[in-house]
Structure 1
Amino acid sequence: MSQMVRKMSFVLLAGSSLAGWSGAALAQDDSAATAAPFAAEEPVQNTGNVILVTANKRSENLQDVPVAISVLGQEQLEVTGFSDIRDISALAPNLSVSPGTVNPAATVVAIRGITTGGDESLTIDQSVALYIDGIYLARSAASAVFSKDVEAVEVLRGPQGTLFGRNSTGGAVSFRMRRPENDLGIDVEAGYGNQDSRSALVRLNTGNLIDDNLRLSFTYAHDQNDGYVDNLLTAGDNKDPGASNIDAGRFALEADLGNTGSVYYSFDYTDFRATPVAFQTTVASPTVQGFLNNATTTPGCDLDIVQERRDAFCLDDAVPVASKLYGHVLKFENDFGPVTVRSTTGWRSWRSDEPGTDLDGFGAVTGPQFSNETLFNGLPADLIRPIVGAGADFVSGLAVPTTTTSLFETVSERSQDQISQELEIVSNNAGRFNWVLGGFYFYETADEFSAQSIGVVLDVDQILRFNPNFGPLGPILADALSPEDRYRLLNTVALVDYKTSAESYAVYGQGEYRLGDEEQLGVTVGLRYTWDKKSIRQTKPFTNLADADYSEPTGHVTVDYRVTDDINVYAKASRGYRSGGFNIRTLQDPFEPEILMSYDVGIKTLFWNNRIRLNLAGFYSEYTDQQISQPVSNPAGGGFGVIVANAGETHYNGVEGELFIEPIDDLTFSGSFGYVDRDFVTYPLTQADGTVIDIADSVLSEVNTPNITASGAVQYQYYLSNEMFVLARIAATYEGDHYFFTTPQTSTFARDLESRARTLVDAQLRIGNIPLSGDSTAFVQFWGKNLFDKVHEERAVDFGQLGYGGFYFGRDRSYGVTVGASF
């Protein structure tokens, strides 16, 4: 922690130095300022169907930016009831978001089929980078955002190797938070829905203070709901799987430093108390099924395995998980005339306590227990006498012992702290050449202690029949085995204990030059160089004291041509990088970085006085030195293990499009479509004897993300008197079927654990601007999610080495009403 404090002190000193520059510039010439504070980094906004974005670190028209980018603005987020990152899944083409399982603060984000997968190891970096107010979120396990103050979301598809360069091979998702407003105001909201969902929000804006140079805002939000699967072992729906209770708060400050500078600070805190979503076993091997057939469980529960989602079953130790996140953002910005200089400092922290989660869905199981000492219990004395000797009669009279346990239970404590500092110099030129220069620093520490209580079902028939020590007696012993005693459970405990740290430096630059008399042709070149240093100090299940250094150049070359003011075509070649790291589950050397080369072509168009917007893109990407995770049997210390190899090569190609139509005022149609195809060129598999074979022709290609994503929405807003309106919206999101595991050779149930294609339909009806006294207004909004109660699989776990697998199913139909007022 002392090292983290020293790093933080350095970062704050570097960031605060810009305030000194700002004051010095103001002292020299206050009258020279012509640009408003933060002019280069305005929030995303919609002006007459023209959307402004900040993907290039300056405010630009979405249609002029030669990048495959989707934007969800504040109005859309409010109307759709945005509550966490999962709500943007499929709203942008080729974007898919899955929730965490045990950990409520975790998400798995995939763009264009590229994802890190569900492994929440604190030593594996993400393929899709997430940002909050420009602050990089290093861990998928701590990727929750303060949703109530999100002002806009930008989804950048494809490698972002320059301006959003850290580990952005698949793309980046940038959340922009609300800034304090110029006018005094209070917003209050309250909501109620089925599953006893309750929400409340209070937001205070102080307006301009101290000579109109200082603005503050305070936001508090509370959300809670019951679970959507009935745990028969838990009293009260508020402790059922899927239940959550969240308190969150945010404070923001923005101040003008003279006429050219600004300072912005925010602090957010979120406290999760959530019961993990239920894991349901849907497939099992004959060995596990044989054990369950002769086992018992808690009265009122059963050991049946069904493929369809169950509304009620038994879960042992379903204790709520406590997860806390908080973060600071500090930005200084000053306009020096030719350039704007911006400093962004971030500090984020996460703590998670998972006291115990049942990951089999059976509750406590009582059945025969395996041990070498009791292997011959209950067998005929005459048969075992050659092996046991004089004690044969005694052993034969003993019953096989029983054990009562969960088949799989996990307990963990994890934490992560990170600091970052970014310094940007952005040109203010309005001419042919615009550029950005920057430097980035990042440091994090993390630790994890987890314990897995695992029950391995063994077939005693096979042990007796084929053990060479028993010779010809083996088959005879196996035939004499009682069917009730054939399948026995071996209890094991696997521990993981490690600390890790990472440090990263980067410098980058991007320049755009426009050619021709009308400046229609543009060439943009970006380059970033990154240096990463990592270390691990692991003591369980093995000792691993290792350090690793990586460095890599990334960037892009983009050419665009503005055919007219409303039509822009572009081509882009980009190089992305994801750092290497350490494997905490199997002892091996550090794995190396992976590289993604991507080639994009696209067209952005506006028609009919901006009433029609159609953006299309096609892409082809090549992964080299791809990090391939392969399950392995009998890892050190028991439990599950994987080997991460840098030998994979995969090609991705696809298309994506977005359409917006406003045929008449206040009636809009919007939609998106994405298709991605994966071609595994090489995919190595390490066999039990150590030999490596290429199984590229037999792996499953539609893994973790579907080949097809699509969305569509229709919205109509009808104005009444006094600007009061009624807004109705209905939307559908589609995700095609896909698997969760790539290799049937190592994931036993890979083909059985398939997520079926689904279409989820949401709807909202909002009555807004209801006049109250003075300028105060109110609103009432009725909402529904998954209106047709579509059963859908969100995640899967293949415990193939243990003989079973299953799904985490998504939430069923939910609906409610929210009322609010602004004063």
Structure 2
Amino acid sequence: MIRTPQPFSVRKIQLSSTALALALAASAAPALAQNDENKDDNVIIVTAQFREQNLQETPLAITAITGDALEQRSQGKLSDITAQVPSLQLQPGSAGYGKSMSAFIRGLGQADISPSVEPGVGIYVDDIYFATVTASIFDLMDLDRIEVLRGPQGTLAGMNSEGGALKLYSRKPDGHGGYIEGSVGNFNRTDVKASADFTLVPDQLFVRVSGIYKKEDGYVTRLDYACSHPDDPYVISGALTPMTTAKNCKLGELGDTNVWAIRGSLRWAPTDALEINVIGDYTRDRSQTQATTLLQAGSGTGLGAWPLSYQGVPYDNRFVPYGPNRGDTVYNDPYITYANFYDPGVTWSAADSLGNPDKPNGPFQVDPQTDLKSWGVSGTIDYKLSDNFSLKSITGYRTYDSLAGDDNDGSPVAFIQEQQLMENEQFSQEVRLSGNVADGAVHFTVGGIYFDQNTRYYNKNDTPFGGFGTPSKPTFAFINDDHVNLYQIAGFGNASWDLNDALTLEGGLRVTHEKKDYLFGRYAFDGSGEPFQPLSNPANPLNGQIGTFEGTIVDYRAVASYKFTPGVMGYAQFSTGFKGGGITPRPYFPEQVLGFGPEKVRAYEIGLKTDFFDHRLRLNGDVYYMDFLGYQGTPNVCVDKNGDPLTGLPGTPGLCGQYVNLGNAKLKGFEVEMFARPVDGLQIDASASLNDFKFGKPFVTTNEIVEGASRPGVGKFKWAVGMQYEFPLGGFGSLTPRVDVNHTPGYCGNFACTPIAKVDSYNLVNARLTFRTADENWSVALEATNLFDKLYYLNKIVTSYAGAQPGHPREVALTVRRSF
């Protein structure tokens, strides 16, 4: 049965009002139990298995990063932790995906922002699931710790955690302390952070308020090609006309930062048995579009080339300002783009880029800027029923609007421009019952979760190129206005049994039922229902189609761990996970509106955790093998529900934007982490991982996946090492230099692994020098990221052209902090 997506109903709000009134918002996670006593011996407490455990006694491949460690490494965004975590890859999304983050662990994850597909790495903020790739590239503010769980977490985390899970935990209010911090640096960088704790009722009611403001110029310059190249024959002929008369021909920048956020948290502990935590937050991010440059245009990308030209101007390498394919006759600079976000040949009829009718007629032009407005509330109630049993309620509501513009082709030729708006809201309610029996030998947690998400995906696409069956313009300008509803409900349980002081057996089970309805809206720029001139006909009623996916998944986990000595523990684990199914996100014909199944993972893992010399040396490692089932991808030729090619559709030129389960793969690898404090003041940390990803025989007709091929975007070997030493300065305080070096592996950007699509490996060096006063109230730090100003690329997009996102050049900043 097809269910039309609906917004949140009044009844849903009423049903959850009691929980919201009691907890109102804040899954404020268990604080990192790391007091002054155990901080010295480097004991880290995590809650990955629903209860507080020593990191070294938790039979999982898990990395825990404290808030202090984030500061030591000058890490301010969630994607920064990629450097030191094995098998983790977090990157800002491509320019066309707005404020999004590509997240992968062990080669499994998601980069596509469409609400039809699900993330592959679960992200949780104070135990509240964050459901989308969009808006997930958080600025790190006032965190207690981050837990990175590697490998499928179907039982411990739940939905869409096939690669693993990221869990962020905020600092809890304790009634005292705070700080204010300011930073200045090159690119006109200005950062301000602050946090303060207050006691409202002694020993019972506490509040903490935190805020952040970050402003920085972009590092890729947008130049007007016609202005800067007056001798180009197409400028002389008038086919390309200047958009500015400025002497420097500058239109703007890409890749800047302009964000502020605030968070408030409340903790009420009226009795020893009851604690309620409430959190509310708001973020406004008006940063420019992600920095993207053009590497190659026209022929030579290895994937064929369309005969692209507009108004007599060929789309070729004259717009490439750097690299082996450079055709620019004026500039030789990797941080330049001629993208103008403008198409004079399409009239956006009496509307602006979001369809507001009060705007005058005019050419299609998008704003090269993102605009994210995000807020949420969450609440946690912890109630101790007895000495052995406790009940926990976690309630969360979050919503955001994310606007982004993109000039995909990176040139003044109107090839691909788009403006997108993502509106999302989600509500979740989780309840857990935890306890221990048999004199503490058996620990268990059982519970359930309800999740409801509604998304609007609005996208205005201007793709005025030939090759789709007509030479005239516009050939492919349209609006998609899609509405999606996702409903999930799950029950789970996890238990451990200490058979003796050395041997522990653990098991987990989770059953998840999900249903997704996708309502497609397709319109022409004038609002009519015929968006594609060469494709529209009465037999192609895509507008108003509804696709539905529904299914039930069972995940399970079994672990045996053994303590060989008090400081050495080994474990063997089997676990499963999944990424939810969905509906083809970008169909061109009703016949392509088909569902696809979930991705599933079965993982086998053996690990060893060691702690030596009174916690001065910690060495953890694991090896794994995983069966990856039902890879979700796009075939070269659309297929029907039986996997046979879809051909002969009315007016079809062979377009396909379909998702199907293409095939299976096998993954294997190892991960190792080391932390050492050989002498007082000296700290060394290192990590390394190797991931080998190989596809099997594809299920359906495709020229991309071949047996033995790796997944695009997945590198093999990465490593990192960091070192710091605290020099005591007597009554003045201390001086601590720190250096971090990390290696990011290269990878292929597409299945064909064409030369232009290969992303090279690179090494980055970051450094920080911190002076701290003896009373630790003041600190001054000088930091440099990308110390040697390495040119590197985060990702590449290759079709009939090649674009890339360069990493940030060297940044230098001075930070002053006052703690109280």
Amino acid at match of 1:343: S
Instruction: Give the corresponding residue for 2:382.
Output: 333
Instruction: Give the corresponding residue for 2:338.
Output: 314
Contact 1:585/1:640, CA 8 A, preserved across alignment: no
- Give the CA deviation at 1:454: 1.2
Match of 2:80, SS? helix
Q: Percent identity?
A: 26
Amino acid at match of 1:539: G
Instruction: Give the corresponding residue for 2:794.
Output: 794
Contact 1:534/1:581, CA 8 A, preserved across alignment: yes
Which residues in structure 2 correspond to 1:102-251 (within 5 Å)? 102=95, 103-116=97-110, 118-183=111-176, 185-206=177-198, 208-233=199-224, 239-251=252-264
Amino acid at match of 1:340: S
Q: Once the two structures are superposed, what CA deviation does each residue of 1:92-141 show, in whole Å capped at 9, x if it has no partner? A: 1111111022355310111011122x211012111110000001111001
CA distance in 2, matches of 1:244, 1:146: 11
Instruction: Give the corresponding residue for 1:614.
Output: 619
Contact 2:567/2:610, CA 8 A, preserved across alignment: yes
Instruction: Give the corresponding residue for 1:27.
Output: none
1:148–1:290 Cα change, 3 Å: same
Q: Once the two structures are superposed, what CA deviation does each residue of 1:409-455 show, in whole Å capped at 9, x if it has no partner? A: 11111110001111111215662111111111100000111122113
Instruction: Give the corresponding residue for 1:812.
Output: 809
Query: Pick from 340, 346, 351: which aligns with 2:401?
Result: 351
Contact 2:295/2:320, CA 8 A, preserved across alignment: no
Q: Once the two structures are superposed, what CA deviation does each residue of 1:21-51 show, in whole Å capped at 9, x if it has no partner? A: xxxxxxxxxxxxxxxxx99933264631121
Contact 2:739/2:768, CA 8 A, preserved across alignment: yes
Instruction: Give the corresponding residue for 1:697.
Output: 707
1:605–1:230 Cα change, 3 Å: same
Alignment of 1:79 with 2:72, yes or no, is yes
Instruction: Give the corresponding residue for 1:560.
Output: 561
1:108–1:607 Cα change, 3 Å: same
Amino acid at match of 1:417: E
Q: Once the two structures are superposed, what CA deviation does each residue of 1:471-514 show, in whole Å capped at 9, x if it has no partner? A: xxxxxxxxxxxxxxxx9986421432210001111111111001
- Give the CA deviation at 1:280: 2.1
Q: Once the two structures are superposed, what CA deviation does each residue of 1:668-694 show, in whole Å capped at 9, x if it has no partner? A: 11100010101211224535xxxxx89
Query: Pick from 627, 637, 642: which aligns with 2:657?
Result: 642
Contact 2:23/2:378, CA 8 A, preserved across alignment: no
TM-score by length of 1: 0.82
CA distance in 2, matches of 1:631, 1:269: 42
Contact 1:493/1:639, CA 8 A, preserved across alignment: no
CA distance in 1, matches of 2:142, 2:28: 21
1:104–1:82 Cα change, 3 Å: farther
CA distance in 2, matches of 1:303, 1:13: 59
Amino acid at match of 1:154: E
Instruction: Give the corresponding residue for 1:497.
Output: 481
TM-score by length of 2: 0.82
Alignment of 1:432 with 2:437, yes or no, is no
**Bigger helix fraction:** 1
- Give the CA deviation at 1:574: 0.6
Amino acid at match of 1:122: P
Of 138-147 and 590-599, more deviation after overlay is shown by 138-147
Identify unmatched segments of 5+ residues in structure 2.
1-5, 225-243, 325-332, 342-366, 523-530, 532-541, 639-646
Contact 2:179/2:196, CA 8 A, preserved across alignment: yes
CA distance in 2, matches of 1:494, 1:750: 31
CA distance in 2, matches of 1:5, 1:780: 52
CA distance in 1, matches of 2:251, 2:73: 25
1:200–1:549 Cα change, 3 Å: same
Amino acid at match of 1:266: I
CA distance in 1, matches of 2:212, 2:28: 30
- Give the CA deviation at 1:238: 11
CA distance in 1, matches of 2:258, 2:655: 32
Match of 1:161, SS? coil
Alignment of 1:761 with 2:773, yes or no, is no
CA distance in 2, matches of 1:313, 1:16: 51
Instruction: Give the corresponding residue for 1:31.
Output: none
- Give the CA deviation at 1:515: 1.1
- Give the CA deviation at 1:566: 0.4
CA distance in 2, matches of 1:490, 1:552: 45
Amino acid at match of 1:808: Q
Which residues in structure 2 correspond to 1:16-35 (within 5 Å)? none
1:779–1:531 Cα change, 3 Å: same
CA distance in 1, matches of 2:370, 2:601: 36
Of 714-723 and 66-75, more deviation after overlay is shown by 714-723
CA distance in 1, matches of 2:298, 2:675: 49
1:303–1:538 Cα change, 3 Å: same
1:302–1:192 Cα change, 3 Å: farther
Query: Pick from 620, 625, 635: which aligns with 2:630?
Result: 625
Match of 1:167, SS? coil
CA distance in 1, matches of 2:195, 2:337: 40
Amino acid at match of 1:495: I
Amino acid at match of 1:164: A
Contact 1:335/1:341, CA 8 A, preserved across alignment: yes
- Give the CA deviation at 1:187: 1.5
Match of 2:425, SS? strand
CA distance in 1, matches of 2:489, 2:310: 57
Instruction: Give the corresponding residue for 2:458.
Output: 449
CA distance in 1, matches of 2:636, 2:278: 45
Match of 1:282, SS? strand
CA distance in 2, matches of 1:593, 1:537: 20
Match of 1:455, SS? coil
Which residues in structure 2 correspond to 1:449-598 (within 5 Å)? 449-457=458-466, 491-516=475-500, 519-540=501-522, 542-543=542-543, 544-586=545-587, 587-598=592-603
Number of aligned residue pairs: 713
Match of 2:813, SS? strand
1:176–1:97 Cα change, 3 Å: same
Amino acid at match of 1:331: T
Q: Once the two structures are superposed, what CA deviation does each residue of 1:208-230 show, in whole Å capped at 9, x if it has no partner? A: 22232111111121001101011
Amino acid at match of 2:57: D
Query: Pick from 686, 707, 710: which aligns with 2:719?
Result: 710
Q: Once the two structures are superposed, what CA deviation does each residue of 1:252-287 show, in whole Å capped at 9, x if it has no partner? A: 111112121111011111101111123322233438
RMSD across aligned positions (CA): 2.9
Query: Pick from 742, 752, 757: which aligns with 2:756?
Result: 752
CA distance in 2, matches of 1:192, 1:526: 49
Query: Pick from 264, 268, 289: which aligns with 1:276?
Result: 289
- Give the CA deviation at 1:719: 2.5
Match of 2:282, SS? strand
